[in-house]
Amino acid sequence: MICIARYSNCIKQKENDFYDVGGIMTKNEFLKQLSDFFSDKGFICKKMHFYKEITSEVLIVFGLYASKYGEYYYLENGFCFKSISKFLPFPKYNQLNLNCGRIMFDKGKALCYNEFNENDMFMLKQKLGSVVNSMSNISTMEKEKMIQLFLTGSFNESWYILGDETAKYFDLPRDVFQFHFVQS
């Protein structure tokens, strides 16, 4: 059984519900380890989203969601700019002003927890740690420098912004990007 809690560890579970007989991670252990990772990095959790305020203006957000097609998860990440977000205090991954796309594992695969062992989880945590550090550093940049990282593809080639407010925030003309709208 998985329970979601607001400000403590996000995932609570029964003891001995970690790895199956072959050393492959169970769903509960996968979720627990991700929750613990983000908690240790100073994030708070709400409904499988992890939030960290980097500056008075910027939240970085990671959103975990299960696939409808198999035993795997997707993890998306991005930035929420508090002065323009309509979805505060806890925007979902598809409501972020600047969405950086999915965190992929092992050459573009989704996060297939039923194929993970301890080494795979270690590698994923290393990758996530690097992404968290990069996003934290980017969050402290002036917004003109921040958007240049994305427009030039220096930080991430797969990203989108949410709506007119974000375009205006970055002083971007409409012909630079394709809009992404989310209904509340």
- pLDDT, tens digit, for every residue of 160-172? 778 788 888 888 8
In a domain, 91, yes or no: yes
Task: Indicate the average pLDDT of the chain.
Answer: 80
The pLDDT, as a whole number, for residue 14 is: 38
Instruction: For residue 75, list its beta bridge partners.
Output: 64
In a domain, 117, yes or no: yes
In a domain, 24, yes or no: no
Q: Which of 50, 10, 31, 9 is closest to 124 using CA atoms? A: 31
Helix, strand, coil % over all residues of the chain, rounded to 5? 35, 25, 45
Structure tokens at 68: 């409808």
In this predicted structure, the answer to whether residue 19 has a pLDDT above a threshold of 80 is: no
In this predicted structure, the answer to whether residue 23 has a pLDDT above a threshold of 80 is: no
In this predicted structure, the answer to whether residue 5 has a pLDDT above a threshold of 50 is: no
In a domain, 27, yes or no: no
In this predicted structure, the answer to whether residue 158 has a pLDDT above a threshold of 80 is: no
Number of independent structural domains in the chain: 1
CB 166 within 8 A of CB 179: no
Rounded mean pLDDT of 62-67? Answer: 91
In a domain, 10, yes or no: no
Rounded mean pLDDT of 92-98? Answer: 91
Q: How confident is the model at residue 179 (pLDDT cuts 50, 70, 90)?
A: low
**CA end-to-end distance (rounded Å), the chain:** 29
In a domain, 30, yes or no: no
Q: What is the pLDDT of residues 105-143, one digit of tens each?
A: 765 667 888 888 888 889 999 999 999 999 999 999 998
Percentage of residues of the chain with pLDDT beyond 70: 76
- Residue 73 structural domain: 44-176
In a domain, 12, yes or no: no
Is the full-model pTM beyond 0.85?
no
In a domain, 60, yes or no: yes
The pLDDT, as a whole number, for residue 1 is: 21
